[in-house]
Amino acid sequence: MTRLFFFLPFAIFVIIGAYLGIGLTNDPNKLPVVLTGKIAPNFSLAPLKGRDNRGFSNNDLTGKISLINFWGSWCISCKAEHSFLMKLKTSNAIQINGVNWREKNMDSGFQWLKRFGDPYNFVGVDPNSEVVIGFGVTGAPETFLIDANGRIRFKHVGPLNQKIFDEKIVPLITILQKES
Amino acid sequence: MPNPLSFLAVRQVVIIFLLVLLPFVGYAVEPSEMLRDPSLELRARSISVKLRCLVCQNQSIDESDAVLARDLRILVRKRLVAGDSDNEIIEYVVSRYGDFVLLIPPFKPMTYLLWLSPWIILAVAFLGIVVFFRNRKNPSIGEKGTLSVDEKSRLGELMSDSFE
């Protein structure tokens, strides 16, 4: 019995080691999402100059299921996801709205859309990250699924693609359509 | 050989070493961000050191050069000017990014184990020490101060060995 007692420190070491080992496999870029299920924060964004004079606010979120995509012309992953957004627009599966985040040159967002295509219904600009922080965004691109009541249902961090859309967002859209 | 630095007291040497380290403690707050009112600015700094930068996660927004950290610092200052209390501002940021954004985790049911485990381990270790010394005090071999017959003969053997 006393002999076994001497193995106790070793056993504790193994247990702590195992926990730390599991900790190492956690992806530090995967941050908890706290806003899922909550009503999207109030916002009213200025229009993207050159595109329209309308802007984008949370009033535009009610009445239909939609996506909000945070992007910037400085963001390389946004370029990677853009062709998928264009495809999504053509398929008419869901309305996509855009928040053009922190452009150094206020014209670059519009030039970018002119060059690569404009998948968005409404676009607003957020040069000072106020709405970005309001939505708990940590980097671009990030995409939020908003239900017809203006509630955040899902958030995807990083570029969106067909696989993620089909696996994560389409089932949620089906559920939301049944709800309403 | 006399030490050329011998005129310096130990305390002075320590202070010099600490001063050498000073330039490495950098803060990211830019002059243009700072508030005119020094008391508000001080509050802004004390809030900023508590908030994690979401981009470079082991720095506070007070230390980080990331643009999102700068935007958060500006947001903190805007809300201070608007009259929000320190707690209201921290709660706002937590409501957006979760407890993760706090560099010091809050004390609540989910973190009881985190906060209490050092004390639990300390208590267990202390108990272990008490038990260990209790056991040493009453050895189970023979009465105190006397030797059993076997022990006496063994002692005799050992003593005679050492003088051969």
Average pLDDT of chain A is 92
What is the Cα–Cα distance from B63 to B58, expressed in whole angstroms? 10
Q: Among partner residues A34, A133, A135, which is closest to B71 by beta-carbon distance?
A: A133
Question: For position A29, what pLDDT does the model report?
Answer: 73
Question: For position B5, what pLDDT does the model report?
Answer: 62
Q: Among partner residues A102, A128, A133, which is closest to B96 by beta-carbon distance?
A: A133
Question: For position A131, what pLDDT does the model report?
Answer: 95
Which residues in chain A (112-131) have CB-CB distances under 8 A to chain B?
128-130
Which residues in chain B (46-75) have CB-CB distances under 8 A to chain A?
54-55, 57, 67-68, 71-72, 74-75
Indicate the residue type of A91: S
Do the chains contact at B68 and A130, CB–CB below 8 Å?
no
**Topology of the domain comprising B10-106:** Helicase, Ruva Protein; domain 3 (1.10.8)
* Selected residue with higher pLDDT from B116 and A31: B116
Percent of chain A at pLDDT > 90 equals 78
Tell me: pLDDT of A132 over 90. yes
pLDDT-wise least confident of A70-84, A89-103, B20-34, B105-119: B20-34
Q: Is B96 on the interface with A (CB under 8 A)?
A: yes
Q: Is B120 on the interface with A (CB under 8 A)?
A: no
What residues of chain B lie within 8 A of the CB of A135, using their CB? 96
* Selected residue with higher pLDDT from B155 and A153: A153
Q: For chain B, give every domain's residue range.
A: 10-106, 110-162
Tell me if A77 sits within 8 A of A145, measured CB to CB. Answer: no
Question: For position B139, what pLDDT does the model report?
Answer: 56
Indicate the residue type of B158: L
Complete domains list, chain A, with CATH: 34-179 (3.40.30.10)
**pLDDT for B21-67, tens place per residue?**
776 556 778 888 888 888 999 999 999 999 999 888 888 999 888 89
**Residue A80, burial from CB neighbour count under 10 angstroms (0-12, 13-18, 19+):** middle
The candidate with the shortest Cα–Cα distance to A134, out of A41, A14, A72, A56, is: A41
What residues of chain B lie within 8 A of the CB of A35, using their CB? 96
Which residues in chain B (7-26) have CB-CB distances under 8 A to chain A?
none
Cα angle A36-A161-A66, degrees, rounded to a multiple of 5? 45
Q: Return per-residue pLDDT of chain B as tens, 164 residues.
A: 566 666 677 888 888 888 887 765 567 788 888 888 889 999 999 999 999 998 888 889 998 888 999 999 999 999 999 999 999 999 999 999 999 899 999 999 989 999 999 999 999 999 999 998 887 765 555 556 677 888 888 888 888 876 55
Question: For position B141, what pLDDT does the model report?
Answer: 55
Tell me: pLDDT of A3 over 80. no
Cβ pairs A/B, distance under 8 A: 44
What is the Cα–Cα distance from B33 to B40, expressed in whole angstroms? 12
Q: Is A68 on the interface with B (CB under 8 A)?
A: no
* Selected residue with higher pLDDT from A77 and B7: A77
Q: How far is B25 from chain A (nearest CA, A)?
A: 25
pLDDT-wise least confident of A10-19, A117-126, B31-40, B115-124: B31-40
What is the Cα–Cα distance from A152 to A136, expressed in whole angstroms? 12
Q: Is B95 on the interface with A (CB under 8 A)?
A: yes
Q: Is A32 on the interface with B (CB under 8 A)?
A: yes
Q: Is B82 on the interface with A (CB under 8 A)?
A: no
- CB under 8 Å to B55, separation ≥6 — which residues? A138, A139, B64, B66, B68, B69
Which of A29, A36, A128, A138 would best serve as a mutation to test chain B binding (most B beta carbons within 10 A)? A138
